[in-house]
Amino acid sequence: MPTSDSEDDIPSNNQKDTEGTQILLADPKAAILRLSLPMMVAMTLMTLYNVVDAFWVSGLGADALAAVGFSFPLFIITIGLASGLGTGGEAALARMIGARDRIGASSVAMHTILLMTILAVAVTIPLSLFAEDIFVLMGAGSAAGLATEYARVLFLGTFALLFGEVAYAILHGEGDAKRTMYAMAAGAVANIVLDPLLIYTLHMGIAGAAWATILAEVISAVPMAYWLFVKRDTYVSLYLREFAPDPVITREILQVGFPAAAEQVVLALMTLFLNGIVVLISSTDGVAIYSVGWRVVSIGLTPILAISTAVVAVTGAAYGARAYAKMESALLFAVRLGLGIGVGLAVATFAFAPQIAAIFAGSGDASAIVPGLTAFLRVMSLVYPMVGFGLISASFFQGTGLGARSLTITVLQSVVLSTLFVWVFAIELGFGLSGVWWGVAAGNAVGAMLGYAWARRYTAGLRVGQATAVPA
């Protein structure tokens, strides 16, 4: 660790761009591809390790799968808070890069990391102390003990988990997708290797799955900490000595970060709501279907999610530079790319749903859920082509600093419309468990298209405003 600050280290607006920032500020279509492709690889591996968790845990029985399912919303809330903060930092950072303000970009990164540290303390203590009570209130029943065992271990690694999410966002926000990929991939591969070793070889059971996740997060966080604080070859320069709290920058981060975190909390609460509906209609087997099924669906969504993360940085940089034509071009290209990928994934998932279900729930007691899991996958695959419209539009609004609009799209899709359609299909029409799946699919599809229409209207307004502006 350097003991003094050289002139080259201290951020200056006269310093040269990095390779990543050059990508961000160049052709938006090329930038979307160059940022999203490495993230597709990394996020696929990370999603795969979540599915691998489910695969190895399935050997412990349906109660263990349900325990992970009940823990999943709390885990998602924790990740969501950090991811939301990271998204706010990434969007603000990208806008600073577009405005050619390196000092401001470095300050954004430092504010984001310090906010993350506060968040880690605020999240870890209550979730560790009250895990068992929470699971009882969730109706976990016989799975409550296993869920508590899994969750309490998992929350020990909250700081590493949150730092990883924020560091990913900082690197990605300055266009450094390759090293982000390396760090994420290292953690994912470590988790895949550690799962069977800790769960079965060392006979740690469901706690072994949690320990594997913690160790993987640490392995992922270490290289990023090295790049940011020791090697210091990033666009941003992080020095506590040079840091001064700035409420304006904090507001810039939180005006996107808070709604983005709220989106994840909304999604997690919606998962809790759906778990409750599923328990009323079915049993813990239904929760297991939803838990495993959504993990599998996440693999299908990974390429589209990767595209949406690229959209945050690319549109943020274009917005900061007031290059509205580039911003609109990035949105249109990303949506078309997401649509093409979504159609291909939908066809493949629908055709091979039985085989996929057998892979992820075909061992031990969990094999009983294979038919139900097959039905879930086929219903959800039908919405893949539409997913990109909503995700990318939400990310577009995050990049431009309009986090509240992104949150509105998520609430519309996942709460208002999904709840409405779930009630109609599952309760009013009596479709039962399959009605829940159809309701979720319909709500997300309709909401996605409405979100895209909103984003297009906003870009059109910016272009018109810029064209008619009177030069100063």
Q: Please write the tens of the pLDDT for every residue from 108-163.
A: 999 999 999 999 999 888 888 888 888 888 777 777 888 888 888 888 888 888 99
Reported as half-sphere exposure (CB side, CA atoms, 13 A), residue 248 has a value of 4
More confident residue, 258 or 12: 258
Provide the mean pLDDT of the chain: 86
Average pLDDT over residues 367-394: 90
Task: Assign 3-state DSSP to the chain and report helix, strand, coil percentages, each to 5.
Answer: 85, 0, 15
What is the band of 205 on the pLDDT scale with cuts at 50, 70, 90? confident
* Contact yes or no for 67/146 (Cβ under 8 A): yes
CB atoms within 10 A of CB 401: 18
Which three-class secondary structure state does DSSP give residue 258? helix
Taking only the tens place, the pLDDT of each residue in 80-113 is 888 889 999 999 999 999 999 999 999 999 999 9
Measured distance CA(227)–CA(219) in Å, rounded: 14
Nearest to 87 by CA among 409, 398, 344: 398
Average pLDDT over residues 244-265: 90
pLDDT at 382 over 80: yes
Give kind and range of the element (H or E) at residue 17: none
What is the band of 2 on the pLDDT scale with cuts at 50, 70, 90? very low
Q: What is the pLDDT of residue 90?
A: 94
Longest dimension (CA), the chain: 72
Q: How many residues does the chain have?
A: 472
Give kind and range of the element (H or E) at residue 359: helix 353-361
Structure tokens, 378: 């086929």
